[in-house]
Amino acid sequence: MENKKLMIEKATFPVTGMMCAVCAGTVQKTVGELTGVRAAEVNFATSSVTVEWDSGVMSPAMIAEAVRKAGYDMIVAGDEAEAVEEKERQEAVAYRSLKMKVIIAWVLTLPVAVLCMTHIHFPGEAWWYMAATLIVMTVCGRGFYVRGFRSLIKGRPTMDTLVALSTAVSFLFSFFNTLWPEFLEGRGVRADLYYEGAAMIIAFVLTGKLMEGRSRRNTGAALRALMGMQPSEALRIGRDGKIETVKISHIVPGDLLRVRPGERIPVDGRVEEGVTSVDESMLTGEPAKVEKQKGDKVSSGTVNGLGSVTIRADKVGADTELSRIIRSVREAQGSKAPVQKLVDRISAVFVPTVIALAILTFVVWSAFGSEYLPQALVASVSVLVIACPCALGLATPTAIMVGIGKGARKGILVKDATALELLSKVNTLLLDKTGTVTEGHPRVTDTFFAPGYGEGEGRERLCALLYGAEIDSTHPLAEALSLYFRQEGIVPVRPGHTDYIPGKGMKFEADGKSWFIGSADIAKADGEFVSKAAEWQDNGLGVVAASCDGSPVALFCVEDRIQPGVAEAIRSMKDKGIEVAMITGDKRSAAGNMAARAGISEVYAEMMPSGKLEVVLELRSRGRVVAMAGDGINDAEALAEADVSVAMGTGSDIAIDVAQLTLVGGRLSMLPEAMGLSSRTVRIIRENLFWAFIYNIIGIPIAAGVLFPFGIMLTPMIASAAMALSSVCVVGNSLRI
């Protein structure tokens, strides 16, 4: 039998209609059980579901249909921007509808509540109360009953189920007493009416949802601000030289675009014509504008200064750096911190437990005698209402969402909620040297050539080959050499074949010979070369060696500078008890010199990528919580194994892909701020969970009537108000981050 090839796709879809964490669990279970779906993760705070599916078996439309049958809506659109736009449109419509329902509910509920509480009687009052309450339930609260009873039938009760059951019981009991008051009165029990309780529950829950919706919009402000940086249109220069306005989606790599002063740059590309300065603070966090001229890179979303420039598009749409950041932020806000797993397990059994407690409360009260039947009803309904799990479900995701959003706006890109939680627990920090502690832009300051290669055609041919081999490399030392050759006026000659040796350098074949450029110790150097390399290295300078058929032909002295603010950042982290060490492939002398200047006392030098990995594993085996910061391909293994991995945004794509956290501007000085953000977020999560748990631990017994002997009985009306307030408090507390 032929095996069918899996065609795995992954995407995030907006979901509307979820009212609590249990609703999110219902959507996740519904999607996760579909044939062809490999994984499903729902985030209640962002109202979205991330799905991984086999496109040969399942499709987004089929997933959306399953979600709809579960009582919710999943938005499937042509692209991400369109889906978000449709979600925001639907949410705006739903918000206006909810606002109108709240107004109607209070207009009808307040007179009922006031008349009942003041004991003002008039002919037909019970029927008037019943009519007003019925309108509130069917017009304003209809969604609770549709979703609530549907989920109850499927065996997955939610917050809607609690509201639907509590109000339905209150209304039906009151309706029975309105029709046949003599049934209870003939048995010595007052035929009380609880119409105002049912109406007030719906009014308060709707009001809480309105306030929660308004507050939760603030938690997504950072992501919306990032998306607002993407221009929707651009000026494209046609083949005939005419300029036309086109949508961003119509631009392809290679197009020439005109960017006027003050406009946002629409794509990632290079300047083809003109000189300007660009505000790149959204990427680097630095307020100073960066000068741009022909050949310089520009990024989507950055703001052009006073000059008008022509740029050639390199990356467009979802491939731009800004789109990558937006995508990472959204995925991170949808990821779950370790503490959330406990909350999810609790939420899964919370509603069934509450229903059981409400039934038990009714049974216990009724056991005292028929005269306690009204108290039994009030207590059981109050338990159903006050125990809503909204606050518990919002406690972690809203804090994570706000924390990640705050970081993104400051150039701290968190890709995983786990990293945001663990970063505050880090006690050991490993730092790569080049591009992490240093600026990563070394310059060639001196050279040394073997006889026959230091001048004339020999030097020109050697430099041309080395330039051709290094010109496409993004390694800082390769860029330093390329800059040196370019300034020397060398024309690059591309070798036929090149091989990159991790941690060592590059081999290539040219002119029938085998060439190498990289670490100084790989060449069979003679005395002069050894002494010259040692002289530079003793002074803490970097050395790049070139050899031909194993014999040294040139040495290049390169020097890098420590990033501004790094020494202060390292001192700050050491003051917090974090052990900081440098881990690098450079020579011990060069690494030691740079570490001393940065204030780092422990150095792991001359480390291959496997060696860096072994250091991380050894530290973790000793119980240390290890963070690793790096920027190169040779750091990828160690980054992947560290408890928290940090990449410099100016480094290699591989390091950025592996890392859980990226400092977009490539500035290590931002790391203490990221740690501070982690500490604040974790503190807020703990506060939210504490209050959510305490609220239920205290509220449920009071609602059940444990304080009745002291004359205190919680009414469903007060319980619904307290429930709504708890959710708003959790969201408000999260916004303090």
Q: What is the C-alpha separation between 642 and 659, in angstroms, rounded?
A: 9
* Cα separation, 670 vs 576, whole angstroms: 15
Q: Counting runs of H as helices and runs of E as strands, what totals does the chain give? A: 25, 26
Burial state string for 687-722 with b = 16 or more CB within 10 A and e = fewer than 16: bbbebbeebbeebbebbbbeebeeeeebbbbbbbbb
How far is CA 30 from each of CA 19, 154, 274, 351, 394, rounded to the nearest angstrom?
A: 16, 11, 55, 18, 21
Q: Find where tokens 């606002």 sit.
A: 99
- 3-state SS class at 664: coil
Rounded Cα gap, residues 352 and 157, in angstroms: 7
- The pLDDT of residue 217: 59
- Tell me the residue length of the chain: 737
Q: Which of 571, 565, 572, 559 lies closest to 667, judged by CA?
A: 565
> What does the DSSP assignment read for 211-275?
HHHHHHHHHTHHHHHHHHTS-SEEEEEPTTS-EEEEEGGG--TT-EEEE-TTPBP-SEEEEEE--
Q: ∠ CA(638), CA(639), CA(641), 5° rounding?
A: 65
* Residue 719 pLDDT > 90: no
Q: What is the pLDDT of residues 147-159, one digit of tens each?
A: 888 878 877 777 7
Mean pLDDT confidence for 110-116: 83
For position 272, what pLDDT does the model report? 92
Phi first, then psi: give them for residue 15, nearest 5 degrees. Answer: -130, 135
| pLDDT, position 218 | 52
Give dist(CA 547, CA 543) in Å, integer: 13
pLDDT in tens, 391-440: 666 677 778 878 888 888 788 888 777 788 888 889 999 998 877 888 76
- Pairwise pLDDT comparison (47 vs 365), residue with the higher score: 365
Rg, C-alpha atoms of the chain: 33
Residue 633 CB partners (closer than 8 Å, separation 6+)? 502, 652, 654, 655
599 pLDDT above the threshold of 80: yes
Strands (E), 378-465: 412-414, 428-431, 443-449
Residue 81 reports pLDDT greater than 60: no
Q: How far apart are CA 680 and CA 418, in angstroms?
A: 15
When pLDDT is cut at 50, 70 and 90, the band that residue 283 belongs to is low
Instruction: Give me the mean pLDDT over the 291-309 stretch.
Output: 85
Q: Which of 158, 173, 164 is nearest to 201 (CA)?
A: 164
Which has more pLDDT, 102 or 589?
102
Question: What's the burial of 117, exposed, middle or buried (CB within 10 Å: 0-12/13-18/19+)?
Answer: exposed
Beta strands in 571-729 (DSSP E): 579-583, 602-604, 626-630, 644-648, 661-663
pLDDT for residue 430: 94
Residue 75 dihedral angles phi and psi, to the nearest 5° = -90, 120
pLDDT confidence band for 101 (50 / 70 / 90): very high
- Contact by Cβ (8 Å): 250, 268: no
Q: Tell me which range, 82-91, 551-560, 585-594, 626-635, is most confidently predicted by mean pLDDT.
A: 551-560
User: What is the structure's pLDDT at 216?
Assistant: 56
Q: Which residues pair with 430 in a beta bridge?
A: 581, 628
The token pair at 68 is 């709809």
Compute the C-alpha angle 488/491/496, nearest 5°.
135
Query: Does pLDDT of 2 surpass 50?
Result: no
Predicted confidence at residue 650, as pLDDT, reads 72
Spatial neighbors of 634 by CB under 8 A, at least 6 apart, are: 502, 503, 585, 608, 609, 612
> What's the pLDDT at 1?
39
Residue 285 pLDDT > 50, yes or no?
Answer: no
501, 518 contact by CB (below 8 A): yes
* Per-residue pLDDT band at 335 (split at 50, 70, 90): low
Give CA separation, 523 vs 306, 533, 544, 545, 553, in Å: 51, 12, 11, 7, 9
**Encoded tokens for 571:** 């001192």
Note the Cα 59 to chain centre separation in Å: 25
Report d(CA 8, CA 10) in Å as an integer. Answer: 7
d(CA 267, CA 232): 11
Strands 276-279 and 290-292: antiparallel
Out of 88-92, 341-345, 472-476, least confident range: 341-345
538-556 exposure pattern, b = at least 16 Cβ within 10 A, e = fewer: eebbbbbbbbbeeebbbbb
Write out the catalytic residue numbers. 432
Which segment, 115-124, 361-370, 671-680, is predicted with the most confidence on average? 671-680
The DSSP annotation for 87-141 comes to HHHHHHHHHHHHHHHHHHHHHHHHHHHHHHHTT---TTHHHHHHHHHHHIIIIIS
Which residues on adjacent β-strands are paired with residue 257? 236, 311
Q: Work out the pLDDT band at 662, boundaries 50, 70, 90.
A: confident
Question: What does the block give as tokens for 40?
Answer: 């499903």
pLDDT > 90? residue 104: yes
- With a CB cutoff of 8 Å and minimum separation 6, the contacts of 630 are 431, 432, 435, 436, 638, 639, 646, 647, 648, 651, 655
b vs e for 34-45, b when ≥16 Cβ sit within 10 Å of the residue's Cβ? bebbeebbbbbb
Task: Check pLDDT > 70 for residue 522.
Answer: no
More confident position, 295 or 731: 295
- Count Cβ atoms within 10 A of the Cβ of residue 27 and give its class: 0-12 exposed, 13-18 middle, 19 or more buried: buried
pLDDT for the residue numbered 258: 92
> Of 254-268, 296-310, 539-553, 710-724, which has the strongest mean pLDDT?
254-268
Least confident of 246-255, 514-523, 610-619: 514-523
Starting from the edge strand earliest in sequence, which strands make up the sheet with 290-292, in order? 290-292, 276-279, 303-304
Report how far apart the first and last C-alpha atoms of the chain are (Å, whole number). Answer: 57
Check pLDDT > 60 for residue 288. no
Surface-to-core class of residue 246, CB atoms within 10 Å of its CB (0-12 exposed, 13-18 middle, 19+ buried): middle
Average pLDDT over residues 332-336: 56
Mean pLDDT in residue range 185-198: 71
When pLDDT is averaged across residues 252-259 and rounded to a whole number, the result is 91
Lowest mean pLDDT among 56-70, 165-179, 358-372, 373-387: 373-387
Residue 176 binned pLDDT confidence (cut-offs 50, 70, 90):
confident
d(CA 377, CA 46): 37
Strands (E), 456-512: 497-501, 505-510
Work out the mean pLDDT of the chain and round it to a whole number.
Answer: 81
For the stretch 203-217, pLDDT in tens is: 877 876 776 666 555
Q: Tell me if 666 sits within 8 A of 411, measured CB to CB.
A: no
Three-state SS annotation for 301-331: CCEECCCCEEEEEEECHHHCHHHHHHHHHHH
The pLDDT tens digits for 6-37 are: 678 888 888 887 776 677 888 888 999 898 89
CB-based burial of residue 194 (10 Å sphere; 0-12 exposed, 13-18 middle, 19+ buried)?
buried
